Amino acid sequence: MSMSSAASVPMAVLGTRPHAHLEPPGASPRATASGSSTPAPALDMTGDDRVALWQQRLLEAESGMTTFLLEHHADLRLLDWLHTQAEIFADFPTPDDRDPTAWQRVFFRAQALIERFIVSRWGEAELVDWARANASVFGKVEPEPTGRPADVVHRLARQADLYSSRYAVDTDEPMQATLIISHCGIWDYREQARARGVPLTLASPLFVLHHCPLGEHPGQGIRTGLPPAA
């Protein structure tokens, strides 16, 4: 996939890494040190860490959606959104469920339902305002943010790790941080979900990746090597 222009993307660094540069499966850990020939160890995320992040992402998405509706579409019949919330929280895991895949399924279902809710009523462009509302929630619930560009980049790296993506984080400069994704596991998970019959509104996750950052900082960036939409 080629992205020739990044003019509309609110990030300082955005580019592509061709698939020719991808390491073969099993060649290295998922996380690698940018500019280094020695792979860095993958993020040390326990099962409880993964559960906590899926739960936080669910809170950000659902709370962000409610905020988005109140700020931009207060005239909406709120009963419509309440019905969708009921779908999101159907078959909800119990509080003591420590299986990350159970919480991943809930989050993915919530994201798919919210995307369908927004796009079917107002179009894809409105997803940007929803994501900005999510970012506002993120700023309130993210543990110990420092305000440095690495905060957001490391959070995105943790999200990439949740989907077993292949990525690298470059934080060589004090006020510059870049996430390099050479293979995005979200694509794999989306195609598996599609095969299970899960309705997906967006043709690809690229819209959200490029237009809906968690935060905006002149020192953060993303470079991707994502495959084209099927």
Q: pTM of the full predicted structure? A: 0.75
Q: Tell me how long the chain is.
A: 230
CB 51 within 8 A of CB 103: yes
Phi, psi of 14 (to 5 degrees): -150, 130
Q: What integer is the mean pLDDT of 191-216? A: 71
CB 128 within 8 A of CB 212: yes
pLDDT confidence tier of residue 84, bands split at 50, 70 and 90: very high
Query: Checking phi first, is residue 41 left (phi over 0); if not, alpha (psi -120 to 50) or beta?
Result: beta
Query: Using H for helix, E for strand and C for coil, what is the string for the chain?
Result: CCCCCCCCCCCCEEEECCHHHCCCCCCCCCEEECCCCCCCCCCCCCHHHHHHHHHHHHHHHHHHHHHHHHHHCCCCCHHHHHHHHHHHCCCCCCCCCCCHHHHHHHHHHHHHHHHHHHHHHHCHHHHHHHHHHHHHHHHHHCCCCCCCHHHHHHHHHHHHHHCCCEEEEEEEECCEEEEEEEECHHHHHHHHHHHCCCCCCCCCCHHHHHHCCCCCCCCEEEEECCCCCC
CB 58 within 8 A of CB 110: yes
Q: In terms of C-beta density within 10 A (0-12 exposed, 13-18 middle, 19 or more buried), how is residue 155 classed?
A: buried
pLDDT: which is higher, 213 or 110: 110
pLDDT at res. 120: 95
List, for residues 181-192, the tens digit of each pLDDT value. 888 888 899 989
pLDDT confidence tier of residue 179, bands split at 50, 70 and 90: confident
User: Percent of the chain, pLDDT > 90?
Assistant: 40
